[in-house]
Amino acid sequence: MRRAKITIIGAGNVGATCAHWCAAAELGDIVLLDIPQTEDMPRGKALDLMQASPIFGFDSNVIGTTNYEDTANSDVIVVTAGIPRKPGMSRDDLLSTNARIVTSVGEQIKNTSPNAVVIVVSNPLDAMVQQMWKVTGFDKSKVCGQAGVLDTARYRTFLAMELGVSIEDISALLMGGHGDTMVPIPSCTSVGGIPITQLINSDRLEEIVDRTRKGGAEIVSLLKTGSAYYAPAAACAQMVEAVVKDKKRVIPVAALCDSEYGVGGYYVGVPVIMGSNGVEKVIELSLTEKETADFQNSVDAVKQLVATMDDLLSV
């Protein structure tokens, strides 16, 4: 049986850690690619990871490269390329530089792996995945963004910490853009089947939601020289697994919504069914009046971000 071919573009902390998770779980053979200026770096990281395989007992093959030809005919491509956030920077501050990087990467993907499912991680996420879809011309189901899995994981972590319960018993959902306008869905949040609103009062819950929105910035401020990578990489690996194993996972991702939720052709975080064909279905929920208003506010922020990106790229 042929192993899945997984390419990770960007061999920094997120990319290399994603390769680690994917290799350890034997999700497929992995190509770790980075830009030519760092020619030896991806090879060094790949070799280091391969030398861990006898210890942990995984058979995934891992190679490092600067040549897109080595990524040809990939089944899944994870795009982490771009400059990371530094203290004081918002995700939106990365817009111009990362939009150009994603454009270049998308052109290469289009030429070398026309049938791949592409998972974008680069920030600002919602605009970057929109640009990737535009550049590749792939079917909308084949291009998506990793944000909701990470945001929901942070939310679940903070809820478990607050209640002193197992993380396994927390079920939660966040929607909308990846950033300060992300939208918690209390009606879809529970602990062991108990609605979260019966366990945490509304004021405290809003404080936890606010910490979730600022979860990435909190880590940036603590690290001082970089941004989060363990959890983002783990979230990527979960999405890769959903594709290569055709898991039909119900998870929140940045997916193109047209008629869905009345979005009108933009990538925003929504619950989907994810399998071998990528985003196989967008799940439309009946939201409360407040959830609907908050979601629309988040969509409007994404639209403004995309418009700003398009203006910058046209200069």
At 26, which CATH number?
A: 3.40.50.720
**Structural domain contains residue 73:** yes
- Per the structure, the complete domain to which residue 11 belongs is given by 5-145
Tally of domains in the chain: 2
The three-state (H, E, C) secondary structure of 150-204, written as one string: HHHHHHHHHHHHHHCCCHHHEECCEEECCCCCCEECHHHCEECCEEHHHCCCHHH
Same domain, 66 and 181: no
Same domain, 120 and 215: no
Catalytic residue among 91, 142, 154, 178: 178
How are beta strands 5-9 and 76-79 bridged, if at all?
Answer: parallel
**Structural domain contains residue 314:** no
Same domain, 100 and 175: no
193: Cβ contacts below 8 Å, ≥ 6 apart: none
At 214, which CATH number?
A: 3.90.110.10
The pTM (predicted TM-score) of the whole model is 0.95
| Among the listed residues 39, 37, 44, 35, the one whose alpha carbon sits nearest the alpha carbon of residue 16 | 44
20 is catalytic: no
Same domain, 59 and 152: no
Same domain, 96 and 153: no
Q: What is the pLDDT of residue 72?
A: 98
- What's the pLDDT tens digit per position in 102-156? 999 999 999 999 999 999 999 999 999 999 999 999 999 999 999 999 999 999 9
Inform me whether the pLDDT recorded for 1 exceeds 70: no
Inform me whether the pLDDT recorded for 293 exceeds 80: yes
- Examine the fold and report which residue of 145, 172, 199 is the final residue of a domain before the chain moves on: 145
Same domain, 303 and 159: yes
